[in-house]
């Protein structure tokens, strides 16, 4: 019976250990990198080179037709039609990754024309939505008694931002950090 012994310092032993360590290192680094991957579409993350502002498109809708834009904001209203859905948005400035800045001042309203059906329970008023697509003219709708010119975006990509749940500072009403020292009498005056 022949036994193979690998001594410290032999090339065979070091090579096999290094190969197995490389495999582990590669698999761990891949797991870490996939955890950092974003599920936000690329058209939403990247700003188009010719991005114009909502006010510019409102003032001259014919001039900006066909221009690619990335706009976002709060959903105001949703209207499902036979072939597409019209989403009225209160436009807000976008952060670097395309998320609307909620506390910022509005840039105006616009309509996003999205093909297909959108569930009104999911796309509720007040939710944040970012869209990317081409401008296709405009329309006039009434807000109260005012006629407002809405630019229309034919949406190619959209992202409904998740709702951030804010938990209030919860304080247990029965928690007392000095519990054993004062109950039932103050320390060091104990009666027993």
**pLDDT reading at 33 higher than 80:** no
Nearest CA to 88 out of 145, 159, 150, 162 is that of 150
Q: Are residues 19 and 104 in the same domain?
A: no
Mean pLDDT lowest among 38-47, 66-75, 90-99, 178-187: 178-187
User: CA-CA distance, 111 to 118, in Å (whole number)?
Assistant: 14
Number of domains in the chain: 2
Q: Are residues 4 and 60 in the same domain?
A: no
Q: Are residues 27 and 99 in the same domain?
A: no
Q: Are residues 130 and 52 in the same domain?
A: yes
Q: Is residue 181 situated within a structural domain?
A: no
Q: Are residues 33 and 65 in the same domain?
A: no
Domain residues for the domain of 76 are: 46-160
Write the pLDDT tens digit of every residue in 125-141. 999 999 999 999 889 99
User: Can you give the CATH number for the domain in which 144 is found?
Assistant: 2.40.50.140
Q: Are residues 50 and 9 in the same domain?
A: no
State pTM to two decimals: 0.68
Question: How many residues are there in the chain?
Answer: 192
Q: Are residues 61 and 83 in the same domain?
A: yes
Q: Is residue 176 situated within a structural domain?
A: no
List the Cα angle 40/42/44 in 5-degree steps: 70
Q: Are residues 92 and 116 in the same domain?
A: yes
């Amino acid at each position: 019976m022949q036994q193979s012994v690998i001594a410290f310092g032999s090339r065979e032993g070091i090579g096999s250990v290094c190969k197995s360590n490389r495999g582990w290192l590669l698999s761990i680094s891949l797991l870490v990198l996939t955890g950092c991957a974003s599920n936000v579409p690329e058209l939403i993350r990247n700003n188009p080179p010719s991005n114009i502002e909502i006010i510019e498109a409102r003032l001259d809708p014919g001039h900006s037709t066909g221009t690619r834009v990335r706009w976002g904001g709060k959903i105001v209203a949703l209207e499902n039609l036979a072939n597409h859905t019209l989403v009225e948005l209160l436009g807000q400035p976008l952060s670097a990754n395309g998320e609307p800045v909620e506390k910022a001042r509005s840039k105006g309203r616009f309509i996003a024309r999205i093909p297909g059906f959108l569930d009104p329970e999911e796309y509720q008023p007040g939710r944040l939505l970012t869209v990317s697509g081409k401008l296709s003219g405009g329309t006039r709708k009434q807000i109260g008694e005012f006629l407002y010119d809405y630019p229309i975006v034919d949406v190619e990509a959209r992202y409904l931002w998740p709702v951030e749940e804010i938990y209030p500072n919860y304080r247990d009403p029965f928690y007392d950090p000095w519990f054993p020292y004062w109950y039932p009498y103050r320390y060091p005056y104990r009666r027993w």
